[in-house]
Amino acid sequence: MLDELKDYLKKLEYINSTIALLDWDVMVNMPEKAEKYRSEMLGYLSGEYYKMTTSEKLKQLIEHFKANDDLDEITKSSIDKIEKEYNKTKKIPEEQYKHYKIAASLSYSAWEEAKKKSDFSIFAPHLEKMVEYNKKFAKYWGFEQNSYNALLDIYEPSITTEKLDVVFGELRLAIVDLLKKINASNVSVDTEYFKKYCPKEAQQKFGKLVLDKMGYDYKKSGRIDESTHPFTTNFGNKDVRITTNYDENDLRKALYSTIHEGGHAIYEQNIPDDLQGTMLAEGASMAIHESQSRFYENLIGKSKEFWTYFYPIAQNEFNNFQGVSFDDFYRGLNEVKPSLIRIDADELTYSLHIIIRYEIEKMLFNDDLEVKDIPYIWNKKYEEYLGVKPKNDSEGVLQDMHWSDGSFGYFPSYALGNLYGAQFLNKMKKDILDLDEQIEEGNLKVVHEWLKNNIHKHVKRQITPN
Ligand SMILES: [Zn+2]
């Protein structure tokens, strides 16, 4: 019967991987007119997945193994994980689940068009549907009072608005306070050299060099493509793909999105082989996943040590840095300047972008805000917290894809990831006494090994307290 269970879980992962592969294709390759047929394909596969995760057969398997005490730890965790998913999915009526998946796919396309035309009204009816579906799901799961908690729990188990209000409340006050001081200072930083024309090919070459050093195997177990919104996806640990987005007039954009996605990708590649096909082969939580990408992007990728090694190479590869001293470059790279776009934000103000989205999501799901009023609230909060105001929807409320496919509750993961990452660096420095020197010499292997042993091998296992 154990073989039967393993076989069943593997089939579930195959469907999951197929859906992920089709989703990747939607964002990277798919011709425009293929949209309708693709959403039908995805709808069908999601329906099959739904059937398999709610079947009588699976219920019997779960019950059988739940009663069995001498299971190995992996199988036991698999059972706990699939039981949680069974309970969650079983509560959503099949037709609704299928319609939701189709609506999500259409909503993503509508968001793309709306962003291109900078017109929120194209996206609004789709967004309304996504919010309504998720409110309903939260009710099915038993979250009558605060449906937003149900969504937060998907990405960061057991986190709640009660906890986040405290953490984000403190964080917001601290950042806004520091930002005021920075804005009032008369120190200015030159960053013009980043904005000189820089051909895509040169950016690609340098990006690959950094990814190599980070230990991301894009040659045999991954690949790098382009998409509007950079992301990482994987089908097992031997096919982990990232995307990026090049701006030939600002090389920082692709560089830091590449490093960010590289941080996610090495996590997925380091998930142990024996966990593949067990439903456990994924990050411990989304915030832990984001801690890996944000850690590399900011704490390593903007550090003096990292650039001690990479700056001479960058000076050779790009025309941008002729005559720019290391100190000026380093200061420019770490400039604090409130901006409109989250993924381009500096390390300090980044979390404010997240807190704004968190507050808006919370209002939406507590019925304190209607979809049509989001752009107004968005712009108001940007002005209040960051002192900047979007000129249009494209650089405002439409900049992120997350809401288009219903990923509400995901955003807080980034800011939590920042907080986790800082703590990991602290511990890493205690464990590796010459960490700074190693990074200065370009030996990022020590970082890779530490992350692999302390973070990456710990996946999404259910921990049963005893
Ligand atoms: Zn990320």
| Model pLDDT for residues 319-376, shown as the tens digit of each residue | 999 999 999 999 999 999 999 999 889 999 999 999 999 999 999 999 999 999 999 9
Phi, psi of 242 (to 5 degrees): -120, 160
Quick one: tokens of 438? 């190693």
Give the model's pLDDT for residue 196.
93
What is the domain range of residue 209?
162-456
For residue 437, give every residue at least 6 positions away whose Cβ sits within 8 Å of its Cβ, in sequence order, or none: 305
Give the model's pLDDT for residue 466.
35
| Domain contains 152 | no
Residue 343 buriedness (CB in 10 A; 0-12 / 13-18 / 19+): middle
Regarding whether 274 and 318 lie in a shared domain, the answer is yes
Regarding whether 262 and 224 lie in a shared domain, the answer is yes
Phi, psi of 40 (to 5 degrees): -70, -40
Regarding whether 236 and 107 lie in a shared domain, the answer is no
Confidence bin at 39 (pLDDT 50/70/90): confident
Calculate the alpha carbon distances from 6 to 46, 160, 179, 289 in Å.
20, 34, 53, 26
For residue 238, give every residue at least 6 positions away whose Cβ sits within 8 Å of its Cβ, in sequence order, or none: 221, 269
Regarding whether 203 and 141 lie in a shared domain, the answer is no
| Amino acid sitting at position 158 | S
Is the pLDDT assigned to residue 464 strictly greater than 80? Answer: no
pLDDT, one tens digit per residue, over 181-206 is 998 998 889 899 999 999 999 999 99
Whether 437 sits among the annotated catalytic residues: the reply is: no
Regarding whether 311 and 232 lie in a shared domain, the answer is yes
| Domain contains 462 | no
Give the model's pLDDT for residue 142.
84
How large is the average pLDDT for residues 298-311? 98
| Domain contains 369 | yes
Å from CA of 399 to ligand 1 middle: 15
Give the model's pLDDT for residue 238.
97
| Domain contains 55 | yes
Å from CA of 250 to ligand 1 middle: 20
Å from CA of 277 to ligand 1 middle: 24
Residue 384 buriedness (CB in 10 A; 0-12 / 13-18 / 19+): exposed
Catalytic residue selected from 83, 156, 261, 361: 261
Give the model's pLDDT for residue 203.
97
In what side-by-side order are the strands of the sheet with 222-226?
222-226, 240-244, 232-234
pLDDT, one tens digit per residue, over 393-424 is 999 999 999 999 999 999 999 999 999 999 99
Give the model's pLDDT for residue 461.
63
CB 237 within 8 A of CB 281: yes
pLDDT, one tens digit per residue, over 116-159 is 999 999 999 999 999 999 999 999 998 877 899 999 998 998 89
Report pTM.
0.89
Percent of the chain scoring above 90 in pLDDT? 82
Regarding whether 204 and 64 lie in a shared domain, the answer is no
Confidence bin at 463 (pLDDT 50/70/90): very low
Domain count, the chain: 2
Regarding whether 175 and 91 lie in a shared domain, the answer is no
CA max distance for the chain: 71
Å from CA of 293 to ligand 1 middle: 6
How large is the average pLDDT for residues 287-313? 97
Give the model's pLDDT for residue 465.
36
**Of 295, 329, 335, 296, which is closest to residue 315 (Cα–Cα)?**
329
Give the model's pLDDT for residue 458.
83
What single string gives the DSSP state of each residue in 373-408?
GHHHHHHHHIIIIIS---SSSTTTTTS-SGGGGT-T
